[in-house]
Amino acid sequence: MSEPLFRPVLVQFYQELLADDDLERFRAQVEPRYMPHTLARLLHTSDPLTRRAALTALGLLAETDQDDQVAEMLKDRDPLNRELAKDVLWAIWFRADSPENSRQLKIVRALISQGRPDEAVELATMLINRAPNLAEAYNQRAVALFVGRRYIESAADCKVAIRLKPCHFGALGGLALCQSRLGLNDEAIKTYRRALKLEPENEGIQEAIAVLEAQRASEKP
């Protein structure tokens, strides 16, 4: 007979969250008991539910330098955990380095969603001037520039975001799209392959590579 599976009390808190959808209660339960580095260690447990609970808690409590650890979950065996890891990474990146900068990032994102890319670029530029090492500010400006069809400038911002945060799957995808729009298909394939190392199970990336490779093959004499 196999031994019973040991699960930390964090899983109980997570199951209660699933039942009542009370995120603030979950935070209040977790924060006094778990440090972010302890939660990060739980990402390596064999139990997918424990990993999911730890990811959810990290989405609330992780510090910006823990994104590499969370990014490893993009390779998780459990597809739900892979998708959750993306959400957690976005939460970490938008948490930024201060509440004010985080607020500004969200305003930039809102301007983009409202179809106001020029205003988003202007505000993101102000944020970059104030916080030049904030990767998400470059990434959001890259998104706004892409919407405005300014692909060269967008690609440049994606590269800065990736330099600051090598695990930034969003910036990698954005860079590959810019390269494709600029007709730099070989470069786009290389970027997508780099993204695939972060997300080896991502079918969208696999398909994008296949399409570009087929296009390249058809263009050969």
The per-residue pLDDT for 149 is 97
The per-residue pLDDT for 215 is 87
Q: How far apart are alpha carbons 135 and 174 in whole angstroms?
A: 14
In tens, the pLDDT along 98-139 reads 999 999 999 999 999 999 999 999 999 999 999 999 999 999
Q: How far apart are alpha carbons 206 and 156 in whole angstroms?
A: 24
Structural domains of the chain ordered from first start = 9-95 (1.25.10), 99-219 (1.25.40.10)
Query: Rounded to two decimals, what is the model's pTM?
Result: 0.92
> Residue 142: which H helix or E strand, with range?
helix 135-147
Question: Half-sphere exposure of residue 138, counting CA atoms within 13 Å on the CB side?
Answer: 23
Task: Tell me how crowded residue 99 is: count the other CB atoms within 10 A of its CB.
Answer: 9
- Tell me if 26 sits within 8 A of 14, measured CB to CB: yes
Is the pLDDT confidence value at 17 over 80? yes
In tens, the pLDDT along 35-81 reads 999 999 999 999 999 999 999 999 999 988 899 999 999 999 999 99
Burial of 164 from C-beta contacts in 10 A (0-12 / 13-18 / 19+): middle
Q: How far apart are alpha carbons 88 and 76 in whole angstroms?
A: 14
In tens, the pLDDT along 172-207 reads 999 999 999 999 999 999 999 999 999 999 999 999
Number of H helices, E strands in the chain: 13, 0
- Amino acid sitting at position 10: L
Q: What are the Cα distances from residue 32, in Å, to 25, 26, 35, 61, 198?
A: 12, 11, 8, 11, 32
Instruction: Supply 189's token pair.
Output: 């394939």
Is the pLDDT confidence value at 1 over 60? no
The per-residue pLDDT for 5 is 65
In tens, the pLDDT along 205-219 reads 999 999 999 988 887
**DSSP state letter for 115:** T
Give the number of residues written for the chain: 221
